[in-house]
Amino acid sequence: MSLETLIETYGYLAVLVGTFLEGETILVLGGFAAHRGYLVLWGVVAAAFAGSLCGDQLFFFLGRRHSRWILARRPNWNNRVERARRLLDRYQTPTILSFRFLYGLRTVAPFVIGLSSVPAAKFIMLNAVGALVWAVVIGTSGYLFGHAIEIIIGDIKRYEAVVFVLVAAGGSLVWALHWHRRRKNKKTAETTQKPL
């Protein structure tokens, strides 16, 4: 199966799943694929909107209903939870609208909002607006990134597989470093909590 067929077949689904789980990288790749004509930009934006909206709604309801259990299992979230709480206390509406753009808080922020007294209806409405803005901005950035690369290197067709691999590898590396740091912090937290 060629790269083109793979992207055309699974591109929107990959964007949907990737943005549900977290994924700026997958959205940038989706925007780049739209620039190359494998996907349609509005379809990439729609898939990213749906994935992000549903993922953050899930974290909101997990925070609302299962916060104690989750926080007990994720002690490495404590610093980010406190940071998100401070932001939410000071700037409730702006925080809800913009948490997707705040590095390190994207996953934990909807969870913290679920812990708070923010009404579910208010979060759903603001979450939808924030998800739409995020999907348009990041998806369009990927599209423009493709255009910029085309201007710089000319015939992008020869290099597009390399560009896809480099962007995917870069995103995977960032994710792996984040996962490793999170795991290391969890081990450190478990070690410090053990009785002497």
Q: Cα–Cα–Cα angle for 36, 145, 34, nearest 5°?
A: 30
Q: CB–CB of 126/91 below 8 Å?
A: no
With 0-12 / 13-18 / 19 or more C-beta atoms within 10 angstroms meaning exposed / middle / buried, residue 48 is buried
Report the C-alpha gap between 17 and 151 in whole angstroms. Answer: 31
> Which sequence spans correspond to the domains of the chain?
3-193
Q: What is the pLDDT of residue 123?
A: 94
Q: CB–CB of 143/31 below 8 Å?
A: yes
pTM over 0.75: no
Strands of 1-144 (E only): list them.
none
Question: What token pair was written down for 191?
Answer: 């070690």
For residue 138, give Cα distances in angstroms to 7, 28, 131, 134, 135. 18, 6, 10, 6, 5
Q: What is the pLDDT of residue 154?
A: 55
Q: What is the pLDDT of residue 143?
A: 86
User: For tokens 């390399």, what's the residue?
Assistant: 162
Q: Which amino acid is at 97?
A: L
Q: What is the pLDDT of residue 76?
A: 77
Question: If you count them, how many residues does the chain have?
Answer: 196
Q: What is the pLDDT of residue 49?
A: 96
Q: What is the pLDDT of residue 167?
A: 62
Per-residue pLDDT of the chain (196 residues; tens, 9 = 90+): 554 565 667 788 888 888 888 777 788 888 888 888 889 999 999 999 999 999 999 999 998 988 878 877 877 777 888 888 898 999 999 999 999 888 777 778 898 899 888 999 999 999 999 999 999 999 998 888 877 766 655 555 555 566 666 666 666 676 677 677 767 766 666 665 555 4
